[in-house]
Chains A and B, each alone.
Chain A
Amino acid sequence: MDLDDNEAIKRKIDGPLGFFLAELIDDAVFFAARRSSGTLLEVMISTTAMGGLLAAGSVRRPIPHGKMITFQGDELFIPPGAFPECNRRRARGELKLLPVRWP
């Protein structure tokens, strides 16, 4: 499934609109647990794809701490404006998604 503006709006909980990837699996588990039947996918991003995403407006940064939670790693924030770039790179095989087990 491609990243999609309408889907992002429908699934937004809080914070800015977009798609977020957590660097560390424990941080990702927190966000999966916010969803009903959330799951975990590992996303492998090639160096060139990462360059394209950053050029399109994506940002790697520490995950903003919420009340009751301190995150350990960074996030890659992909704003809606970068969705087409992300979808193109994925179609070319420069982003690969794999299920991951936890714990």
Chain B
Amino acid sequence: MKYTTADLCIIDGPIQLIQKRPHMFVHLVNGLELASKVAAGACLLVEEPVNLQRKGHWWIVASEQDWMTNQANVSVQDLFLRNIPFPEAGPNSMHPEVLLTAFADRILTQNGEECLVIKGTIPSNAEIWQHLKTNPQWKRTVAFEMTDEEPANHVSDN
């Protein structure tokens, strides 16, 4: 059979797959599991301690060493939008930040003074900003808000 490029379905990033088949990526869609995945990824890339905190509906992963800017040809935005291979974690691995884009309500990331809102709107008077200011030693912070979490007793359909 002959076909042309017009017949091809272009896969533009992994977010639709993650949302359609969440249990290929996580056991439970909740803040703790997502934060743990981001922290585990960071631990493979930095030598400094990686912190995981919860503040209300917000989850925060932070380190005194930036784990995001040492990826060649990969921007911080790419890590949140694309399926970026993660060879440090082994074959067929991917960086975990894109999972947050699929599931979290709001996401921000901060590199010292430089701040980037990845998803949602975060007013300048939001409490999360104040919390981040109290930890100036963090060289990379990822904070995300989860308001609709899968309960821990959920049975996966896998």
> Chain B 1-14, CB within 8 Å of chain A: the 1/0 string?
10100011111111
Subset of 7 A-B contacts with CB under 8 Å: A14-B92, A30-B24, A33-B11, A33-B17, A69-B25, A72-B158, A99-B7
B10, A38: Cβ atoms under 8 Å? yes
Other-chain contact of B10, A39, A63, A65, A71 (Cβ < 8 Å): A39
| Interface residues in chain B, defined as those with a beta carbon under 8 Å from any beta carbon in chain A | 1, 3, 7-14, 16-17, 20-21, 23-25, 37, 40-41, 82-83, 85-87, 89-96, 99, 158
Beta-carbon contact of A15 and B92 below 8 Å: yes
Candidates B1, B16, B85; contact of A13 at CB < 8 Å: B85
Across the interface, B17 reaches (CB within 8 A) one of A14, A26, A64, namely A26
Whether the pair A30, B83 counts as a contact (CB closer than 8 A) is yes
Q: What residues of B have a CB within 8 angstroms of the CB of A34 in the complex?
A: 83, 85, 94
CA distance A65 to B9 in the complex (A): 25
On chain A, the number of residues with a Cβ less than 8 Å from chain B's Cβ atoms is: 31
B91–A66 CB distance below 8 A: yes
Report A103 CB to chain B, min CB distance, Å: 6
Apart from A14-B91, A68-B86, what are 7 other A-B pairs with CB-CB below 8 Å?
Answer: A34-B83, A34-B94, A38-B10, A66-B89, A68-B95, A99-B7, A99-B9
B10 touches A103 (CB 8 A): no
B79–chain A nearest beta-carbon distance, Å: 12
